[in-house]
Chain A
Amino acid sequence: MHHDKRMTEMHHDKKFSVVNPSKMCQPMGAVQALLGLKNSMPLIHGSQGCSTYMRFQLTRHFREPIEVASTSMNEKTVIYGGEYNLMKALKNITEKQSPSIIAVASSCLTETIGDDMAGIIRKFEDANPDKELPVIVSISTPSYTESHVEGYNGTIKALVENLAAPTVPNGKVNIITGFLSPADVGEVKEILNDLNLEGIILTDTSENLDAPLSESALNLYDGGTTVEQLEDTANSLGTIALSKHVNSAGEFLEKKFGVKLVSGPLPLGLENTDSFIRSACKLADLEIPESMDRDRGRLMDAMVDAHSYNYHRKVAIFGDPDFVSSMTLFTSEMGMIPTVVCTGAKSKRFTEDIETISKEKGCSPVTLAGGDLYDMHKAIKKVGTDILIGNSYGASIADEENIPLFRAGFPIFDRLGAQRISTLGYRGGIDFVDRLTNTILDFYYDEAGYEIVEEELEETLIDHQKFAEEEI
């Protein structure tokens, strides 16, 4: 790999500790996936803190109530094993909430003590032969391996493995979204609609995580993917995993039921959206409708309108692997120069993707796979950037480097509208180009529209500092 030398340079002073993580744990990925299931109750088999802190992060990002139950493990139940608590939890949820599906994700605690969740679930089902029970799915998400990205992947896989049942071909296409904003999931649905193609969205968070003001807090989620849809995935024309890192369910469906799989790319940017539309139409043997050319033309128009402001602006990007790689491509398409790209997941696919893009677009970003924000900041200090794209945790870095942070990804807790951030497809791309360019205009151009030259920028900064000091 070309970037190894640079990577090791960046890591030379920090080998062991993670400082300011850019990844979360597997159960978080599970919850992210499960929030798109209709009438479901996600359950974390672990300590109370797992579900509570995840809910905290998710609720402040989406600004929606987030319901995740816990088996509330404590010292005694850890010593004797979690069977009692898990059985009790299943009973309580079944009796009081009557969901269609309970999805149980493990945690580092219950994985380490070796609870056999699938066995306990079977025991619960066997003990209640006369009751109408919800579908109960066991998902193994040991927090000490991989990251939330794999947790998401494993969750979709577990759902499909447990439920997919071949009956008759349905003419639909399965879409594994990965963790996207509800607006982006909505855009994917819109595109399918435009293509006249019916999709099964795995999973559909577009309604649950951007819900109207209503008494929804009193009930289980009433939008999202249904159990019937999960069962029907075996009968689809094919599966498109928008993110390569979440395609395991697709691999399973292909192997077991011959449902053809297309892995990636995330339809972010012009070329990636082209690929997505081509592969969707190819799967379903459809002509690309003319409305697509119109939307595509608009995105190109937006990119042309913006080009002079973006050209050769340096950009650093961090977040989930497929988001970062496709954003690297998109910003390159816009004429920007990706200088640092960072994902928390230790992913070979990610570095390969970045290499391909780098070759094609003639850039050579410092590539951090399995990096944290400390590593990224260090790299930024070294190679520089004009703008940072990533979640709210990038704010202090942007502040220190005096560059703007364009917020995208998860979590975003210091601005409104995270659930409505739109980047996918041609239409989302237009929105992104406009907002990104306006951010650049706000920061690097004066009120008359002239670019602020660097010395001026520094002077303004000094003026600000002086002013602040005088104020004190």
Chain B
Amino acid sequence: MEPKLEPIVETFKSREKHMCVKGEGLSIPVCDKASLPGTVTQRTCVYGGARIVLMPITDSIHLVHGPIGCAACTWDIRGSKSSREDLYKKGCSTDLGEKDIIFGGEKKLFETVIELRKLYNPGAIFVYATCVAGVIGDDIKAVCKKTEEVTGCRVIPVQSEGFQDHNKTKGHWIGCDALLDYVIGTREPEKTTPFDINVVGEFNVAGDFWGFKPLLEEVGVNIISTITGDSHVDEIAQAHRARLNIVQCQKSSNYLAKKMEKRYGIPSIKVNFFGLEQTVNSLREIADFFGDPEMIERTEKIIESGLAEVEHKTDEYRERLQGKTVALYVGGNKAWSLVRAFEELGMGVMMSGTKNGIREDYERIKEAVRDGTIIVDDANSTELARLLKKYRPNLLISGAKEKYIALKLGVPFCDFNHDRISAFAGFNGFVSFAKEVDASVSSPIFDLTSTSLRGD
């Protein structure tokens, strides 16, 4: 038992242990518990988790089997960019009504799938189960199988009933399972090379993937598929032939990489293309994995020219950002993968937390942050506001729901989530990252927010 004189912020007794300080005691907060009913949780549902993983598949229709709300609130919000189709952006729903709830929604689902196939001829139709679809017991798998037979189009069930778990991580896994069970391994590549890889857990938010794709191509690997940013379903179908999986978002996709290793013997390495140092390390690790001397030499040259290209481009920003503090409160991966990138800008991470972390996530955060950093799990909106007010970081990195909590308190904010507009990955991405962080932290408006008309 660790004696704690004062809680990190005032909250429910049962929530106090969900926050801790690195270097004190275990340095791992209590985590992976159901949110307290009645709080304004920042978490979402299992359906949300599955959708987030699969939605960037651009040539596919993503059909939400449920009442209209589940699709209406979530269509076209992923921020994933496409270089080809934009089918994935459509908000498709079976719009279940009262009759369907009473008599079952399978027939409507069947007709809807057939109709969407006719309208769009997509690479695949992913069918997402929502809470109600689960409760009324619709056999989505059976309908998918039948419609696939009728249409000849891939129709893939995603058993993502929203209430299944308190943690959307389960939704990530369900999304990955849909790919493992119905997509990966269903098509053979025309040719293979000794340097075939998959880029796993990269969703091309704001075009991030395009920030390091050219680097990978220069290194000389052959990308079979990205799972799932800017991808086609037929590409993912060939993923089983890769020699290596590189995993960018480890939170959502380590599960997939591990399963692919077990099933197909494909090893994986964790990469991180946020920040210069991490980009360099990631490129080296990929080259080292293949052990090809020419590739290793080429990679060093790429690194050299990549670093040279951006060498002084962040100086101006770093000067202003030096010594500023940042709080991270994110879905998972960014809670550790961004820490070094901020340190490269001269900033210190004073708090890091996730909404859906499991123990292994907090182990990684603990490794990444310095002593004295606050680590929080599943902070609700009141706790987050209190944390920001009490510890006043110079910047909060989080998502849309947290944005105005920070801004109202005069804490600069930077969206690193779906609504982000610049790509941050790779060498040039780091410059955009620095620029964007500077635009938030150094804006003169935040000097004015604490002033008053009456001058007190």
Contacts and interface: CB of A to CB of B under 8 A. Distances in A.
Interface of A: 13-21, 23-28, 43, 46-57, 59-60, 63-75, 77-78, 85-86, 88-93, 96-97, 107-109, 112-113, 142-145, 147, 211, 213-218, 344, 393, 396
Interface string B159-195: 0001111100000000000000000000000000000
Contacts of B89: 396
A88 B34 CA distance: 13
Nearest to A414: B419
A143 B136 contact: no
Given A28-B73, A52-B48, A144 B35 contact: no
A69 B135 CA distance: 23
B66 A108 contact: yes
21 contacts: A19-B91, A21-B93, A24-B69, A25-B68, A49-B70, A56-B73, A64-B404, A65-B408, A67-B381, A72-B36, A74-B163, A74-B165, A74-B166, A75-B165, A92-B36, A96-B382, A108-B130, A211-B408, A217-B405, A218-B382, A344-B68
Contact of B45 (A47, A56, A92, A215): A47
A68 B90 CA distance: 27
Nearest to A85: B37
A53 B74 contact: yes
A46 to B, nearest CB: 7
A19 B90 contact: yes
Contacts of A86: 37
B42 A69 contact: no
Interface string B41-78: 11111111000000000000001001111111111110
B41 A71 contact: no
A18 B166 contact: no
Contact of A72 (B34, B100, B406): B34
B439 interface: no
Given A16-B94, A75-B165, A85-B37, A53 B48 contact: yes
A327 to B, nearest CB: 21
Nearest to B97: A144
A20 B91 contact: yes
A57 B385 contact: no
Given A49-B162, A92-B38, A144 B67 contact: yes
A97 B112 CA distance: 44
A109 B98 contact: no
Contact of B69 (A28, A55, A72, A213): A28
A49 B166 CA distance: 10
A143 B100 CA distance: 12
Contacts of B69: 24-28, 50, 53, 108, 143
A69 B39 CA distance: 5
Given A50-B45, A52-B45, 16 more contacts: A16-B94, A21-B93, A27-B69, A28-B73, A46-B163, A49-B47, A59-B403, A59-B404, A63-B404, A67-B381, A72-B43, A75-B163, A108-B132, A143-B67, A144-B96, A217-B408
Interface string B114-126: 0110110000000
B401 interface: yes
A350 to B, nearest CB: 17
B90 A70 contact: no
Interface of B: 12, 34-48, 63, 66-77, 89-98, 100-101, 108, 111-112, 115-116, 118-119, 130-132, 135-136, 162-166, 381-382, 385-386, 389, 400-401, 403-410, 419, 449
B112 A16 contact: yes
Centre residue among B108, B162, B419 by max chain A CB count within 10 A? B162
A78 B163 CA distance: 8
Centre residue among B43, B45, B403 by max chain A CB count within 10 A? B45
Contact of A144 (B72, B98, B386): B98
A74 B164 contact: yes
Given A14-B115, A15-B111, A52-B48, A109 B132 contact: yes
A145 B97 contact: yes
Contact of A17 (B72, B73, B75, B112): B112
A216 B131 contact: no
A220 to B, nearest CB: 10
Contacts of B132: 108-109, 112, 143-144
A218 B36 CA distance: 18
B96 A21 contact: no
B34 A18 contact: no
Contacts of B38: 43, 69-71, 88-93, 96
B41 A51 contact: yes
B73 A57 contact: yes
A90 B71 CA distance: 29
A378 to B, nearest CB: 11
A83 B162 CA distance: 19
Contact of B71 (A16, A18, A50, A217): A18
B40 A51 contact: yes
Considering the complex of A and B, which 9 residue pairs feature the smallest CB-CB distances, nearest first? A25-B69, A49-B45, A89-B38, A92-B38, A89-B37, A53-B73, A143-B67, A47-B162, A109-B131
A67 B77 CA distance: 20
Given A20-B75, A48-B45, A72-B166, A96 B35 contact: no
A219 to B, nearest CB: 9
A21 B409 contact: no
Contact of A48 (B12, B35, B77, B90): B35
Contacts of A52: 41-45, 48, 401
A17 B92 contact: yes
Nearest to A211: B408
B400 A92 contact: no
Contacts of B75: 20-21
Contacts of A18: 68, 71, 91-95
A24 B73 contact: yes
A410 to B, nearest CB: 11
Contacts of A108: 66-67, 69, 96, 101, 130-132
Nearest to B49: A49
Nearest to A91: B38
A77 B163 CA distance: 9
Contacts of A14: 115, 119
A47 B131 contact: yes
Nearest to A392: B76
Contacts of A50: 45, 69, 162
